[in-house]
Amino acid sequence: MDEPADTGGARTAETRGQEPRRWEVHPPRPSVPRSFQNRLTIAFLGIVALTLALVAPVVVNRLDDFFRQQEQQALQAHAEATAAILERFIVDTVGTKAVVAEMNGKLELNPAVKSLLTTDRLLDLAANTLALADLTVEFGAARLDTDGVLVVNPDPGLTFVTLLTATATLDQRRDPVITPAHATVARTNMARDWGMEVTLSNPYTSRARTLAAITGLLLAMAMAAMLIAVIAASLIAHRFAQPIIRLTDASRRLAEGNLASRVATEDGTGTLEVQVLAEQWNTMAARLEESVGIIRRDRDLSRDFLADVSHELRTPIAATRTFIELLQGPAGLDPAARTEFLDASAVQLDRLDWLAQNLLELSKLDSGLVLLDLRPDDVRGTVESAVEQQRTMAERKGIALSVTLPDRPLRISHDSPRLGQVVGNLVGNAIKFTPRGGEVHVSAKREADGGVRIEVADSGAGIHPAELPRIFERFYRGSAANEARGTGSGLGLAIVKSIVDMHHGTISVESRVGHGTRFTVVLPRDPGEMASADPPARRQRRRKPPTTGSGVKVDDSSPTLSSARNGAPSP
Ligand code: ADP
């Protein structure tokens, strides 16, 4: 039971390398219970024991007082009864004669009375059957006191002491604690007023036995209470400790690297505070798992990105090196071959330059170094000029490039050169992937919420459904055999998406193989407003992989491959 609480031992501060953090567990000190459950049980037990220790003596004491009072009253009643009966016998015996008489200056008891008391064993009878106590009877003359009350003046010479000799019943004991009880009789007699004082002491009582029985019962009840307390306390403590044990287990699993570890909170056990703690812990664990996931994803993406960059740069460098080696050989002496190799080298160097520019652009966009210059301008101008820049290429390829723009200005807050880059890239791709005689159509219109929708549609080759979710990935190029696909860098759409993201817009694509592709960019009326309303969402969006991040929707409208629609995960 001690185990869970012991995990709270000192931790090592070791954080070197990738090693999971270790927890040092000190062995528990043997005499001190360290678990919450044990401590709670002992605390319960302690409280019950203390209560019993305080209450039991008081109860026994009060009962003793009560019984003593009862016995005292009983002894007094017995004394009075004994006195009354003795008087009755004495009066019957003496008749009109004196009970006590003075002889030779000394008080004497009537011989008949004396014989009744001693020889006839009346006193024995009274002590052993009626009083059940040692009996002392003192006789004396009676006289009126100043208040006119008849009082006895007991004579020490007329004292009769009879000890109790009757056998006690099972529960009776001599009880010296009881104070002796006195009963006085003072009577007027024709011969001489007389009186006697009856004293009962050291009686038989069942007080001690009753008290012992009650104390024993109390002791048994206390033991039973302690036992119940132990069972109840350990059950309650177990119930209290269970959520904490679960929390400790989950923490241990988390420390061991199981980031999916959570504490069960729905079973309703545990106090509200522990429940809240468990929920907070789960929230913390979920955040940790999410953060580690993001870091891992970022790390994987960076690794892939680096590999892709190396690969992309190697091709033009290798080609250039080959041309230089050729130029150093006999081919360098042939003017025609030299011109051809130098031209080819220039093309490769242009490609290298272009790649480097794109990479720089993408890394600046990604790292947040690029700040948009947002101005409330008319989008129509931006779209028109971006399209016009591509017109020469379209004409060269024999592609009909058209634009449809509304008559009224489409004024939204945007970074015109960057948006021009988006449209230019999309139109450039559309021309690139559309065969001669095809069409590329660009349009822009106002959205119901005040934003702007820009569409770039072509009648080109289309994109295979399996490729659709990946086209926004860096360095991703379509695999279908098409001469145009051999050219690009695979960075264009990644840059487009980054710029759209920075505008808090969305980009989606619909495509049907052999029929064409349509890219739709939707921009909000004021990206600055959205950024201040939702900065964390923006940050998060930047971290997600480009294919599945918010702001991208892929749609394959191919009638044969409808299963790959809408954001299918990257293969
Ligand atoms: P690239 O430099 O290769 O054009 P992009 O990132 O711009 O890189 O595009 C990625 C891939 O998306 C392209 O290689 C191509 O397969 C596909 N793609 C982009 N636009 C179109 C389009 N209009 N029609 C068909 N395929 C397209």
Asked whether the predicted pLDDT for residue 561 surpasses 60, the reply is: no
- Of 6-15, 103-112, 238-247, 456-465, least confident by mean pLDDT is 6-15
- Looking at residue 485, its pLDDT comes to 46
Say which residue, 235 or 395, is predicted with more confidence.
395
Asked whether the predicted pLDDT for residue 330 surpasses 90, the reply is: no
Provide the H-helix boundaries in 368-480: 379-397, 416-432
* Ligand 1 mean position, distance from CA 563 (Å): 21
CA 181 to CA 203: how far, in whole Å? 10
Rounded to a whole number of angstroms, the CA Rg of the chain reads: 57
* Ligand 1 mean position, distance from CA 508 (Å): 13
The class (CATH top level) of 56-210 is alpha beta
Q: How confident is the model at residue 28 (pLDDT cuts 50, 70, 90)?
A: low
Q: Can you tell me the mean pLDDT for 359-381? A: 85
* Ligand 1 mean position, distance from CA 501 (Å): 19
Quick one: what percent of the chain has pLDDT higher than 90?
A: 45
CB 78 within 8 A of CB 130: yes
Q: Strand 375-378 to strand 204-205: parallel, antiparallel, or no bridges (unpaired)?
A: unpaired
Tokens 């009776």 belong to which residue?
Answer: 172
Q: Strand 552-556 to strand 506-512: parallel, antiparallel, or no bridges (unpaired)?
A: parallel
Q: Which atom of ligand 1 is nearest to the CA of 434?
A: 24
* Ligand 1 mean position, distance from CA 539 (Å): 26
pLDDT tens, position by position, 125-155: 999 999 999 999 999 999 888 888 889 999 9
Pocket test for ligand 1, best of 463, 473, 500, 510 (most atoms within 8 A of CB): 463
Query: Phi and psi for 161 in degrees, rounded to 5?
Result: -115, 125
Quick one: tokens of 514? 């052999």
Quick one: tokens of 125? 């009878």
Whose CA is closest to atom 7 on ligand 1?
492
The pTM of this model reads 0.51
- Looking at residue 10, its pLDDT comes to 40
Q: Strand 452-458 to strand 400-404: parallel, antiparallel, or no bridges (unpaired)?
A: unpaired
For the chain, the residue count is 571
* Ligand 1 mean position, distance from CA 349 (Å): 22
Pocket test for ligand 1, best of 455, 477, 554 (most atoms within 8 A of CB): 477
- Looking at residue 550, its pLDDT comes to 43
CA 459 to CA 511: how far, in whole Å? 10
Whose CA is closest to atom 12 on ligand 1?
471
Pocket test for ligand 1, best of 397, 427, 429 (most atoms within 8 A of CB): 429
Q: How confident is the model at residue 179 (pLDDT cuts 50, 70, 90)?
A: very high
* Ligand 1 mean position, distance from CA 477 (Å): 6
* Ligand 1 mean position, distance from CA 465 (Å): 13
- Looking at residue 333, its pLDDT comes to 83
Q: Which atom of ligand 1 is nearest to the CA of 472?
A: 6
Asked whether the predicted pLDDT for residue 13 surpasses 80, the reply is: no
* Ligand 1 mean position, distance from CA 569 (Å): 18
Strands (E), 104-230: 106-109, 134-144, 150-162, 173-174, 181-187, 194-201, 204-205
| Residues ≥6 apart with Cβ < 8 Å to 394 | 400, 401, 431, 440
What own/partner pairs with CB < 8 Å and gap ≥ 24 does 404-409 have? 404/441, 404/442, 404/443, 404/444, 405/380, 405/443, 405/444, 406/380, 406/444, 406/445, 406/446, 408/446, 409/378, 409/380
CA 423 to CA 454: how far, in whole Å? 8
- Of 47-56, 157-166, 204-213, 542-551, least confident by mean pLDDT is 542-551
Asked whether the predicted pLDDT for residue 562 surpasses 80, the reply is: no
Quick one: what percent of the chain has pLDDT higher than 70?
A: 84
* Ligand 1 mean position, distance from CA 387 (Å): 17
For domain 372-567, give its CATH number from 3.30.1330.200, 3.40.50.2300, 3.30.565.10, 3.40.50.970: 3.30.565.10
Pocket test for ligand 1, best of 467, 493, 498 (most atoms within 8 A of CB): 493
pLDDT tens, position by position, 515-546: 999 999 999 998 877 766 654 444 444 434 44
Q: Which atom of ligand 1 is nearest to the CA of 476?
A: 10
b or e along 47-69 (b: 16 or more beta carbons within 10 Å of the residue's beta carbon)? ebeeebeeeeeeebeebbeebbe
Q: Which atom of ligand 1 is nearest to the CA of 490?
A: 8
Asked whether the predicted pLDDT for residue 489 surpasses 80, the reply is: no
Q: Which atom of ligand 1 is nearest to the CA of 516?
A: 24
Residues spanned by CATH 3.30.565.10 within the chain? 372-567
* Ligand 1 mean position, distance from CA 181 (Å): 122
Q: Can you tell me the mean pLDDT for 157-165? A: 94
First to last CA, the chain: 49
Q: Can you tell me the mean pLDDT for 25-29? A: 55
**β-pair partners for 517:** 458, 511
- Looking at residue 405, its pLDDT comes to 96
* Ligand 1 mean position, distance from CA 512 (Å): 14
Whose CA is closest to atom 8 on ligand 1?
490
Q: Which atom of ligand 1 is nearest to the CA of 477?
A: 14
* Ligand 1 mean position, distance from CA 549 (Å): 18
**β-pair partners for 152:** 142
- Looking at residue 553, its pLDDT comes to 60
102-105-106 Cα angle (round to 5):
60
Which range of 24-33, 172-181, 359-368 scores highest in mean pLDDT? It is 172-181
CA 453 to CA 419: how far, in whole Å? 12
- Of 166-170, 489-493, 508-512, 527-531, least confident by mean pLDDT is 527-531
Asked whether the predicted pLDDT for residue 566 surpasses 50, the reply is: no
CA 161 to CA 199: how far, in whole Å? 9
DSSP-derived letter for residue 170 is T
CA 142 to CA 160: how far, in whole Å? 18
Whose CA is closest to atom 20 on ligand 1?
429
Say which residue, 511 or 304, is predicted with more confidence.
511
Of the candidates 512, 481, 485, 509, the residue with the CA atom closest to the CA atom of residue 497: 509
CB 83 within 8 A of CB 195: no
* Ligand 1 first shell, C-beta below 6 A: 429-430, 433, 458, 460-461, 463, 471, 476-478, 485, 488-494, 517
- Looking at residue 437, its pLDDT comes to 94
- Of 180-194, 213-227, 417-431, 473-487, least confident by mean pLDDT is 473-487
Of the candidates 182, 158, 220, 152, the residue with the CA atom closest to the CA atom of residue 80: 182
pLDDT tens, position by position, 254-293: 999 899 988 887 766 667 888 888 899 999 999 999 999 9
534 alpha carbon, distance to own chain's centre: 30
Q: Which atom of ligand 1 is nearest to the CA of 495?
A: 6
Which range of 13-22, 96-105, 528-537 scores highest in mean pLDDT? It is 96-105
Q: Can you tell me the mean pLDDT for 335-354? A: 87
Q: How confident is the model at residue 301 (pLDDT cuts 50, 70, 90)?
A: confident
* Ligand 1 mean position, distance from CA 301 (Å): 20
Q: Can you tell me the mean pLDDT for 327-341? A: 85
- Of 47-56, 380-389, 411-420, 502-511, least confident by mean pLDDT is 47-56
Say which residue, 75 or 301, is predicted with more confidence.
75
- Of 146-160, 433-447, 548-562, least confident by mean pLDDT is 548-562
User: What average pLDDT is seen over the chain?
Assistant: 83
CA 86 to CA 75: how far, in whole Å? 16
* Ligand 1 mean position, distance from CA 466 (Å): 14
Whose CA is closest to atom 25 on ligand 1?
462
* Ligand 1 mean position, distance from CA 494 (Å): 10
* Ligand 1 mean position, distance from CA 510 (Å): 13
Q: Which atom of ligand 1 is nearest to the CA of 493?
A: 6
Q: Which atom of ligand 1 is nearest to the CA of 425?
A: 7
Whose CA is closest to atom 19 on ligand 1?
429
pLDDT tens, position by position, 61-100: 999 999 999 999 999 999 999 999 999 999 999 988 889 9
Whose CA is closest to atom 26 on ligand 1?
463
- Looking at residue 389, its pLDDT comes to 94
